[in-house]
Every structure is written in C-alpha cells, then in structure tokens.
Structure 1
C-alpha cells in the first residue's frame, strides 16, 4: 500500500500551545468544580467548530475546501477517461479506481493539512472486510487513500446521480444496493459476496450506515456480518479519531485537528455461525 512509510506528521503548534497554556489552569483561587465546568465548556466549544477562530481562519478553511473540490474534479475527470478505455476489463477498472482513491485521498488530506498518525499499518494489506466509523467527510478521503488495491466499496444506488463522482464510482465497478427494499438489498448483498470471492477482493464499508454528528459510535447495521458469513473474510476494524473535530457533518469549517487512523487486528470469521449474527455485531462494536 501507498501508506507503508507513513508515520506521525508534525503536529500543529497551535495545539501544543493550547495544552501547554491549560496545563496550569487549576489554581488556588479557582474551585475544582468551576475548573471542571470551564474545561468541559471549552471542549464542547472546540467540538462545535470553535467559533472563536475568527473570520481569517474561516476564510482559510473555505479556501481549502474549494481547492479540494477543484483538485478532486480534475483527478476524477482524468480517471473517468481511463475507466472508459478499460470498460472491457472489470478488474482493471477496480484496480484503477483504487489507484484513483490513493492519489486523490492523499492529495485531499495534504490540502486540508491535518496532522495524521497511522497505527497498526501491518493489518492494512489483508484481504478482508474493512469497516470504519463515520463522522466526517474526511473519513471518505482517508479510506480512499488507505485501503489496499483490490478493494471495492458499497454505496446506495442513488450515487449514480452524483455529478462525475457517481459515474466514476460505477465505472470503477464498485457496488450499489437498494436500501429502500429489504428483499432487493439482501439479494444485492449476495451479489457483493460472490463478487468478492470470485475476484479475490477486499471490501470497505461504514457499518453505521450514516455519519455520526458528534463522533460517538452509532448502532451497526448487520450487512457486514452477512458478508463475512458468506465470504469468510476476516474483519479489520479501522478506528478514525479526531475527524469529527476536523470537519463536522453539515459544516464548511475545516480545522487543523490531529487525526489518528488505527487498524485493529483482524477478527477471524471462519467458524462464525449464522444463528449468532446479532452476537457478532455486538462483538465487533
């Protein structure tokens, strides 16, 4: 994988000075309870986007988002042309889709400028079902960049209507499901499982099914366990920390919060039994 040499990026000095400044906040003149309340309010303000950053920081944030959008449109258009040429070769389109993700995801994270620490990278090249928590648009950039070549994704069928991105998704031979119809969704999952086994692929999926607003883990859908039972692929959890502070759901404010990407050891599924499906969902959570 392209991230094999990735370590800790230099931390933003602003965060270091923030913690240094607060290291001596408890003084003899300040009651402990008041300090606790003050610290909690400070953390809540940080999580809500840090309005105190001011207009200058907001303008930098908007500029980063615009540059991300323009850059992504450029790489998407370029790889769309490659995909059209590769129409007769589905697996090559999957591979090119992954290369697009590695290049574009890494580029977008570089533009955003968040310090990133990656842990457990030795588990990042498994043929597996990768699952990740989801609280920010940044999560998508990270999994594009850090999932291995030979990985497909699953999205709702409506993604085809997203300009350029949706068409590239389909051209890259990634899979879509109809979430509005449970019967059709189950059949779609069977097709996904067959494609994974037949082509020796990995899968990336967000088991919560939607983004969390506050970074807390939402209940898992059962689809990834169904796929594990049908493919016997191990499950590799990817824990993303700090992305909801860096770019909140529904916000246009990107902050330089540090991010940690942690791969956990694979969870083997060879001996899993269908009747314990609910237990496996709780186990992985």
Structure 2
C-alpha cells in the first residue's frame, strides 16, 4: 500500500506505503450495527444506492471528533501492547498472538468509534490457515483487517516501518514480517525468508495484492507477490472482498462518512497443485474472482458487466 490513507489519520503520509506485498453477530454499541451473514448479499449495489452523502458542517465536525478519538485510542492501545511485547521478548510465538489480540481489540474499537454499519459474510472461512488477501481503497481496510483476520496471522511490510514512531516498533515486536525492497534480489530473498517463517511457525498471512490503495475504489491490477508466497507456503488463498470503504473514507479526506460496509470472505482457493510456470494465470484468475464479487462501481473501468479481467 503506497497511498496516504492512514497517514491522514496519523498525520504522516508514509504509513500505508510500508504495507505492500490485521465478532459478535450483534454489536452491543448503539452507534454501530453489525450483521454477520453466511448467505449471498441481497444486492451489491443496494448499500451504495441507499447511502446519501452529507457534507454539512455538523457531519464534518462529528467526523473530526471521531478521527481524533481514533487517534488517541490507537496511541493508547499501541503503548499498552508495546509494554506487553517488551515483557514477552523471549517468547516470539506469544508476541505474534498478542499482536493479533492488539489488532482485534484496536481494529474493533476503531470501527466502533467510526460508527459505520458493517455486514460480515462467509465467516465459516475466517479461521483457515491461509493467505488472506483484500482489495484496498481506504484506511478503513486496515482497521478491518486488524480486527477480522484470525489469531496466528502476520503481515508483511517494508523494513523501514521500524522507523515509524511507536507503531513501527510494535509491528516489529509482534514478530510481523519485513522485506527489503531496496533491490530485486534482496526482495526475492526477503519473500523466501518470510515464506519459511510462515511454514515453520504455522502462520497465516495478510496481504493487499494491489500493492497500493485505489484512488477511486475501483479494483487495480494485482501484483504477483501473493502468488509467489502461495507457491512457497502452499497455503490456500482466502479472498476478503470489501465494499463501501472507499465511500466511507475517501483518499486525501479527513471526513469519515457513515456509508454501510460489507466484508465478505470467499471460499479458500487451494494452491496445492499450482506451478511456477502459470503465475500470470493465477494472478488473473484471482483478480477475476474479485471482479465478479465487487459491485459495478468498484470494478475496473472498461470491463462492463462481463466480469472478465485483462490483467497480466
């Protein structure tokens, strides 16, 4: 992710660039309604068509208050878990677990503060040992991934994330993976080492295959890193399809809107029989899965309703 999404939130324009290659059925909080469903959504366009934008001064003020609350709350939980991580330095597996608990608590808390209605589907696929992938169009995507990926999941970030105050140190302490992208050879070796770590410790991975944040919510071409990781780990791929987040928090904006969101886990895509000579085919195939399940407003331009992708 090379965009400025969380940078608007943390007042730094580089955090999302580090990530490129973390529920209950009914919420008890009155401001956020969460519905967990295992069935097909009634209409991909229904949520968007029922949402009415409001840029009046009162909604903008409320949005600013929510963002400040998110910032303060995230700094608080990050500090608390950083202390826990330091105590657990001799036990890396426990640090991974605590890193996920931090993500579950912090991500859920931030989504509650923002107050968007959330519908979650396909939760029967939410506890696989797998490579979880997601489309990326908003900083809210990161909060959702923190909350909804299972315990035992690690992310992959650029090695420079360690220099991001407090959050970067917590990321490293939580035993998440870092890669050196300074040159192609170093990047390949870093990916191989990440794959070995995942297999050795029986971990899952989370990755945004677009490699950057979409500016308008439309799906971008997928990069090949997630396929290379699948080939090296033989983990299945679990697509997580996010809709509505690009409306809730638009790029370059500090106005978070109450647009309804949907998170849909799709059935795992097995990679046991994948071969290195068909990498482009696998990238195209997984991209087409997203095109099929995204609403028209989030599909790449020029595809119409066919659901066919021309990525390479």
TM-score w.r.t. length of structure 2: 0.77
Q: Which residue of 1 aligns with 2:33?
A: 9
How far residue 53 of structure 1 moved from its aligned partner, in angstroms, is 2.0
Q: Which residue of 2 aligns with 1:220?
A: 222
Matching of residues 1-285 of structure 1 within 5 Å? 3=23, 5=25, 9=33, 50=53, 52-285=54-287
Structure 2 counterpart SS, 1:155: strand
Structure 2 residue runs without a partner (length 5+)? 1-22, 36-45, 288-312
Conservation of the 8 A alpha-carbon contact between 2:177 and 2:194: yes
- Whole-angstrom CA distance in 2 between matches of 1:61 and 1:271: 48
| Structure with greater Cα Rg | 1
Structure 1 residue runs without a partner (length 5+)? 12-18, 24-42
- Off by >6 Å, runs of 4+ in structure 1: none
Q: How many residues end up aligned between the 2 structures?
A: 249
How far residue 179 of structure 1 moved from its aligned partner, in angstroms, is 2.4
- Whole-angstrom CA distance in 2 between matches of 1:96 and 1:173: 10
Conservation of the 8 A alpha-carbon contact between 1:135 and 1:215: yes
Q: CA RMSD in A?
A: 1.9
TM-score w.r.t. length of structure 1: 0.84
How far residue 6 of structure 1 moved from its aligned partner, in angstroms, is 5.2
Conservation of the 8 A alpha-carbon contact between 2:125 and 2:267: yes
Deviation readout 1:44-63 (Å, 9 max, x if unpaired): xx7xxx4x521111111011
Farther off after superposition, 75-84 or 55-64: 55-64
Farther off after superposition, 254-263 or 54-63: 54-63
Deviation readout 1:83-130 (Å, 9 max, x if unpaired): 000001111100000000000000000000000000000000000000
- Whole-angstrom CA distance in 1 between matches of 2:72 and 2:33: 25
Deviation readout 1:192-248 (Å, 9 max, x if unpaired): 110110000000000111110111111111111001001100000000000000001
How far residue 163 of structure 1 moved from its aligned partner, in angstroms, is 1.1
Deviation readout 1:155-185 (Å, 9 max, x if unpaired): 1122112111111001101011122311111
Considering fraction of residues, name the structure with more helix: 1
Conservation of the 8 A alpha-carbon contact between 1:6 and 1:118: no
